[in-house]
Amino acid sequence: MDYDVLILGGGPAGLSTALHLIQRAPHLADRILLLEKAHYPRPKLCAGGLTPDAEILLERLGLDVSEVPHMDASAAHFDFEGKGLSISLPKRHVLRIIRRDEFDAWLAGKTRESGIEIREGVTVKVVRPDADGVTVITDQGNYCAKVVIGADGSNGVTRRCMLPNAPVYTARVLEVITPTRPGPLPSPPPSDANTSIRWGRVPEGRVGVAFFDFFPVPDGIAGYTWDFPTQVRGQPMRCWGIYDTNMLASDSRPPLKEPLREEMARQGFDLDEYEIQGHPIRWFEPSNPISVPRVLLVGDAAGADPLFGEGISMALGYGKLAAWELEQAFSTGDFSFSGYKRRLAWSALGQTLFARWFIASIIYPLKWRWFQILLWRILKPVVVLVAWIFILNWGKRLKT
C-alpha cells in the first residue's frame, strides 16, 4: 500500500482533514498524501465570508487567519424590499472576508509546515475501493491507500465514483467583483498586499456591512443577492452575487442574472460592465449518503449549508470529524465508516446543517411577499434567537 490516507482535493475540507489528523495522530504524517489538481494560489469562485465559527476552528488548530489579507464586516444586514434586520456582535466583526486564492494557499502552506505532503497538478480521474484498499487513478499514475477522503468539492469525482445513483442537490450561484463605486475595475494594484485594508469610498448605509437581500424569493428564486466588502490584492472592492438553492426548481423562475442586475442597478452599478462567473454548491440533505467502506466525503462533496450556501466553516468542521473517524479506523482496523453519518448528525456541525436544511425547506417554499415581510421585518427577535441557537455558535461546540 502506497499510503494510509489519500486526501483528494486541497480546499478547506481536505486541508482541514490533514491538519486535524496530524494533530490527533502525528505518527501518520509520512503516511498521508494530499492530491490537488491545481497549483496554489489557485482561483476558487467564492465570496470568502468567514463566520466566527470558521475562525474558532482555525484558532483551535493554532492558526491565525488575520495573517491572510481580509476585510471585516462589522454587521450583517438581512433585507426584504428596503427594510430588514441587522446583526452585529459585541466587540468583533460578524464576517471576515478573505479571497480564496490567498486563504487556501495560506492553509496549504500551514499543512505543509505540519509535515504533510501535498502534490499539486494531479487530477484524480477514478476512485475504486475494494476489500483491502482504494485505488486512485490520476493523470499522473495510480495511487493505492487504505483510506481515501473525498474533499474534491461540489463537482468532485469521488462522490460520482462512490455514489453514482445518489440524488444530487445543488444550488446555482453567480458572482461579480466590482470597485467600491460604480465604474471600471482599476488596473491591477501592486502585489504587496497589506493584511489591514482601509475602506474605499462606499455609499453610506453599506459601509462595512455584509448585505443580504431576499427580494428575489417571491419570483421563485430560493435564495438571496449579496453585496460584501472585499479586497483584491490590497485594493478595496465589492463582491456581489446571487444564490439559489434550486429548491423551487419546478416553478418557472427568472434567469439568475436578472435579479442580480436589478440589485446592482439600485446601487448604480451596471452588471454588464463586469465579469460574471458561476459555480454550483452541493448542499447537505439529511438522507444523502456521505461514505462507503474505506471512503469518507468531506466539505462540499458531503454537503454545504443549504440556507445561505455557506461552506468554508462547514468544510473545516467536516475535516475535524473525518480526522476522528480516521484515528478510530486505524486503531480498530474497521474501515467501514458505518457510523460516520450518525456521528455527523449528533455533532454540532450536523445539528447546524440539519437546522439550516430545515429552515431553508420552510422559508424558501413559503415564497409569498407577506411571509418574507413577516420574517425579515416583524419576527426579528424570533429570527435572531433561532439564528443564535441553531445556526451560529456551533464551532466551539464541535467536539470529537
Enumerate binding residues for ligand FAD (CB under 6 A).
Answer: 8-14, 35-38, 44-49, 123-124, 151-153, 156-157, 173, 175, 241, 279, 281, 299-301, 304, 309-313, 315
Nearer to ligand FAD, 313 or 352 (CB): 313
Nearer to ligand FAD, 226 or 335 (CB): 226
Residue 229: all three cell numbers together: 466588502
**Smallest separation, CB 109 to ligand FAD (Å):** 14
Phi-psi region of 220 (alpha: psi -120 to 50; beta: other; left: phi over 0): left
- Contact, 129 vs 137, CB < 8 A? no
CA distance 6 to 174: 32
Nearer to ligand FAD, 359 or 379 (CB): 359
Place of cell 499522473: 140
CA distance 9 to 34: 7
CA distance 22 to 144: 20
Residues facing 52 on adjacent strands: none
Nearer to ligand FAD, 69 or 241 (CB): 241
Nearer to ligand FAD, 36 or 55 (CB): 36
- Exposed, middle or buried, 255 (CB in 10 Å: 0-12/13-18/19+)? exposed
**Smallest separation, CB 35 to ligand FAD (Å):** 5
- Exposed, middle or buried, 27 (CB in 10 Å: 0-12/13-18/19+)? exposed
Nearer to ligand FAD, 24 or 279 (CB): 279
**Smallest separation, CB 331 to ligand FAD (Å):** 26
**Smallest separation, CB 381 to ligand FAD (Å):** 26
Secondary structure (3-state) at 102: helix
Nearer to ligand FAD, 179 or 309 (CB): 309
Place of cell 480546499: 11
Nearer to ligand FAD, 24 or 37 (CB): 37
**Smallest separation, CB 157 to ligand FAD (Å):** 4
Q: What phi and psi values does residue 280 have, to the nearest 5 degrees?
A: -80, 160
**Smallest separation, CB 369 to ligand FAD (Å):** 26
One-letter identity of residue 270:
D
Nearer to ligand FAD, 4 or 305 (CB): 305
Q: How many residues does the chain have?
A: 400
Dihedral over Cα of 129, 134, 137, 138: its sign:
positive
Name the residue number minimizing CB distance to ligand FAD: 311
CA distance 299 to 226: 22
Whether the ω angle into residue 236 lies within 30 degrees of 0, i.e. cis, is: no
